Chain A
């Protein structure tokens, strides 16, 4: 019944070791978002795809990359995780963008050791 699925729920990675977080959707939505959420803070938009069009936020570090190989899947790659990258990463989808409801996954809690 799940519509937006993030794997894994918890990820521990070593400082500087590349890590990939995944998100899949069964809603066939056009838009997929990646947000970073640190403790007691708002979700911060990192980037989003509208279909295959990639939209990067100006303040998203180059260390963060994303891939969307097809409609259903989207990946967040952190090339060299630092301690400051420890956070909850939320994937969301929407049919058409900010003028439609976003559906969120459960999130992936990333720990950097």
Chain B
């Protein structure tokens, strides 16, 4: 089965600073890749997805992610973080089902 690794459990950035959250996947074929965000006590909301084509994908809330096959990575980026971005971020890989990484908790300092 496919699997996902998010190396960073917790990241703190200052408001206005740039952000990069790392994601590495393991899957034998072309992966379907997703980033979801979860606010406390809530379900997961899709930020963006990659299926094929352009390796740089744009999502909601100013987020983007870049698929790099050679590195088996799908890192999430945002040029300027807002306090409202504080949440838990999950990378996921889809095949016959969908599996999630352990998540990265983002704290935003004023």
Q: Which residues of A contact B (CB under 8 A)?
A: 4, 31, 33, 35, 40-43, 45, 48, 55, 88, 90, 92, 94, 97-107, 109
> Which B73-110 residues have C-beta < 8 A from chain A?
88, 90, 92-103, 105
Contacts of A41 in B (CB 8 A): 102-103
Interface residue SS majority, chain B? strand
Interface residues on B, range: 20 to 34
Q: A106-B42, A109-B41 are in contact. Are A94 and B105 (CB under 8 A)?
A: no
Partner of B102, one of A42, A45, A55, A100: A42
Question: Max chain A CB contacts within 10 Å: which of B32, B36, B43, B45?
Answer: B43
Q: List 9 A-B contacts (CB under 8 A).
A: A4-B43, A33-B97, A42-B101, A45-B99, A88-B41, A90-B44, A98-B2, A104-B45, A107-B42
In the bound complex, how far is the Cα of B43 from the Cα of A102, in angstroms? 11
Partner of A42, one of B43, B97, B100: B100
Contacts of A104 in B (CB 8 A): 36, 43-45
Check A100–B94 contact: CB distance below 8 A: yes
* Interchain residue pairs A-B with the least CB separation, the first 10: A98-B94, A104-B43, A42-B100, A104-B44, A98-B98, A99-B32, A98-B95, A42-B102, A106-B43, A98-B97
B59 to chain A, nearest CB (A): 12
Partner of B97, one of A40, A97, A105, A107: A97
Chain B 45-71 against A: per-residue CB contact (8 Å), 1 yes, 0 no?
Answer: 110010100000000000000000000
Contacts of B32 in A (CB 8 A): 98-100
